[in-house]
Structure 1
Amino acid sequence: MANSSVKILLIEDDKILNDDITAMLSEIAEVKQVFNGADGEYEAVEAPYDLIVSDLMLPEMNGLDIIKEMRDAHIETPVLILTAKDSVDDKVKGFEVGADDYLTKPFHREELLARVEALLRRAGIDTEEKEINIGNLKIHLSNRTVTVGNQNVQLVGKEYDILVYLAKNKNIIITKDQIFDRVWGLDSDTTTSVVNIYLNNLRRKLESVGKNDLIKTLRNVGFILESDEQN
């Protein structure tokens, strides 16, 4: 079953191949499709992804330049180059600019998935993760439910998504923009103010089952889910 909390950016200008790869990767993650280098570079730099799969020969901006822009901006998201360019020189150039892996076309579905899952594991992301535990709070990823002890916490879609994102980044400060980009996406028609509304609702529901101050607001900085792994 795909882990909807894992997000992959796919940059491939061939529409049919892009759709085919998306179908493969959708088995383990949520996939954002991009069809040119300029849009790919924007997404890679501005939005949070767990992994990027990119072609090299792209319109508007090539894959090597995308990776270079990312690394220059200190963005360490793992990158898998997926390309027809199979010379040793091309592979060396890819690794030199900061790629993490290199797979040539044509490729086998099983190898692509194996390489993607290996890169995600290396980044500490389990595509088969079933549950997140924070003390006696359990987030059940397989059926999108939350329990505290033996009590169910009834969360609506975006409330649940925010909780998962903060829980996966526990004890790390997350900005409002990061939450908005991850949960609503850059293409959303709404504004970042919606984050506060959903966070307030989420807090009230957690407080109703005794989880007071689990999610803290750092004024003008962001939010943090603090956990010492105790009940």
Structure 2
Amino acid sequence: MVENTIKLLVVEDDYALNDTVKETISELGEVVQVHDGDEGWFEIESGVYDAVILDVMLPGQDGFTILKKAKEALPNLPILMLTAKGELTDKMQGFDLGADEYVTKPFYKEELLARLKALLRHTGVLGQDGALEVGNIQIYVEQHKVLVGNEEISLQGREFGLLVYLVQHVGQIVTKDQIFDRLWGFDSDTSLTVVEVYMSNLRKNLRQAEAQVNIKTLRNVGYTLSATNED
């Protein structure tokens, strides 16, 4: 697994169960754990997560309230509801509010992992057959490998993570703050300008490799990556 290429959030107030969920899904990427609704919403608002596993019954804001707000603010964010409530009416309420998947406790670990993987593939965060593709770029995340056409290029550390993050959000605007929080972390002492340095280096490497993608800067907003037409 490559550090920071996929970031998952677990919002579950049962500490033991939260740990079990983390253990089950940790092979997919970095897992952040919180244990109440208010903290969960704070984390979701940051916009740096690829998927959320969300309990319904939580201290503070309940899961349905968070789900509704999250889908209004971040409609493309995959959310898997994890709850002891198995009644049809509860599931229907979750789906009506925009839940992408529903797993009822107690659950099989294999089922939870399989459903989460399916969500990540559906949204393009996990590529089919392990590859992410845009333009003439193929990224094999687990192998830390990038192909432009048939040629492999070398991207090290956070530069690789930056490309993965942009490709996972192809066509979407990602802010400098989101990139920084995703790759360096909220509590990093590094300056925000480091994002510009890494973005410049990434553009240079992709241009030299004749990658058919464009990373556009939206002044005072952020960046967006898109495929370009072949010459």
TM-score by length of 1: 0.82
Output aligned runs, 1:1-231, within 5 Å. 5-126=5-126, 129-148=129-148, 152-210=152-210, 214-228=214-228, 230=230
Q: Distance in 1 between matches of 2:219 and 2:9?
A: 31
* Alpha-carbon distance change, 69 to 192 in structure 1, aligned in 2, over 3 angstroms: same
Give every structure 1 segment of 4 or more consecutive aligned residues whose post-TM-superposition deviation is greater than 6 Å. Answer: none
Question: What secondary structure does 1:143 align onto?
Answer: coil
* Alpha-carbon distance change, 172 to 68 in structure 1, aligned in 2, over 3 angstroms: closer
Shift of 1:162: 0.8
Shift of 1:209: 4.0
* Alpha-carbon distance change, 186 to 129 in structure 1, aligned in 2, over 3 angstroms: farther
Q: Distance in 2 between matches of 1:2 and 1:109?
A: 22
- Answer with 210-219 or 18-27: which moved more: 210-219
Question: What secondary structure does 2:52 align onto?
Answer: strand
* Alpha-carbon distance change, 4 to 218 in structure 1, aligned in 2, over 3 angstroms: closer
Q: Distance in 2 between matches of 1:2 and 1:191?
A: 23
Shift of 1:163: 1.3
Question: How many residues are treated as equivalent by the alignment?
Answer: 231
* Alpha-carbon distance change, 225 to 65 in structure 1, aligned in 2, over 3 angstroms: closer
Q: Distance in 1 between matches of 2:49 and 2:145?
A: 23
Question: What secondary structure does 1:197 align onto?
Answer: helix
Question: What secondary structure does 2:33 align onto?
Answer: strand
Q: Distance in 2 between matches of 1:4 and 1:44?
A: 16
Per-residue CA distance 1:136-159 (angstroms, 9 max, x = gap): 544332321334467653322111
* Alpha-carbon distance change, 219 to 17 in structure 1, aligned in 2, over 3 angstroms: same
Question: Unaligned regions of 5+ residues in structure 2, if any?
Answer: none
* Alpha-carbon distance change, 229 to 144 in structure 1, aligned in 2, over 3 angstroms: farther
Shift of 1:195: 0.5
Q: Distance in 2 between matches of 1:141 and 1:87?
A: 38
Per-residue CA distance 1:164-188 (angstroms, 9 max, x = gap): 1223333444332232233233343
Q: Give percent identity, aligned residues only.
A: 44
Contact 1:81–1:102 (Cα < 8 Å) also in 2: yes
- Answer with 191-200 or 35-44: which moved more: 191-200
Shift of 1:87: 3.0
Question: What secondary structure does 1:26 align onto?
Answer: helix
Q: Distance in 2 between matches of 1:43 and 1:68?
A: 15
Contact 2:48–2:182 (Cα < 8 Å) also in 1: yes
Report the residue type matching 1:111 in the other structure.
Answer: E
Q: Distance in 2 between matches of 1:107 and 1:225?
A: 38
Report the residue type matching 2:121 in the other structure.
Answer: R
Determine which structure has more spread, i.e. the larger CA radius of gyration: 1
* Alpha-carbon distance change, 40 to 127 in structure 1, aligned in 2, over 3 angstroms: farther
Shift of 1:99: 2.1
Question: What secondary structure does 1:199 align onto?
Answer: helix
Contact 2:212–2:229 (Cα < 8 Å) also in 1: no
Shift of 1:109: 1.1
